[in-house]
Amino acid sequence: MRTLISTAFISLDGVMEAPGGEPGYRNSGWTFKEVAFLPEAFEIKDREQQEATAMLLGRTSYEAFSQVWPGMEDFAGYRLMPKYVVSTTLHDDDLVPGWGGTTVLRSLDDVAALKETEGGPVIVHGSATLNQNLSDAGLIDRYHLLVFPLLLGAGKRLFSTTDKDTQKLELVEHETYANGLQKNVFDVVRPRSSGPAPR
């Protein structure tokens, strides 16, 4: 079983939208515009490129990242990594050449099947809607969160608002930095099977 990791920059009120300066959003660029940069706070981003063996994206994030990331040295570790895009509308002709092999998945069942294959961790970047759907389906195993000391108000949230059973998390790594950022790594706690009833 492969581990599915969701990684995100989020504000304290859970917004993940437009962290790097995407247009059309009032507080766009909040990761570098509002908080002083400290290289040590982003160590986990380098580690993710070394440890992940595949990337999973929603269509919108794939279309955004594939136009920028292939030529960026900061993301060189992802160039040849296999990529999977969850979309009902994207076709093979829409995929960007030269950014590693990319497979289109049509459903969350396809994601569940991917998790059953051999291999190491699969990492999810961006992809707000996909993250919420994966969480609701119980497919996320771990969260890598860099929490910024900001309240942004409007914007897409990382976490689903679906009325569902409580999902417990275990904090397995944590650090705070001088600029107010917090690194929180959580494992999703799976309910233990009660097994067969005693006779």
- Within a domain: 49: yes
- State the Cα–Cα distance between residues 117 and 60, nearest whole angstrom: 25
Residue 65 placed within a domain: yes
What's the average pLDDT block by block, 10 residues per block, for the chain (199 residues)? 97 94 89 93 96 97 93 91 96 90 97 97 97 97 98 94 94 98 97 60
For residue 80, the domain's CATH number is: 3.40.430.10
Q: Is residue 198 part of a domain?
A: no
pLDDT of residue 197: 52
Sequence-distant (6+) residues with CB within 8 A of 27 are 18, 34, 152, 153, 154, 155
Give domain status of residue 139, yes or no: yes
Q: Is residue 196 part of a domain?
A: no
Residue 199 belongs to a domain: no
pLDDT of residue 22: 85
Q: Hey, what amino acid is at 172?
A: V
The domain total for the chain is 1
How far are the Cα atoms of 2, 7, 112, 146, 171 from residue 185, in angstroms, in the given order? 17, 9, 22, 9, 6
**158 domain residue, yes or no:** yes
Within a domain: 93: yes
Domain range for residue 132?
A: 4-188
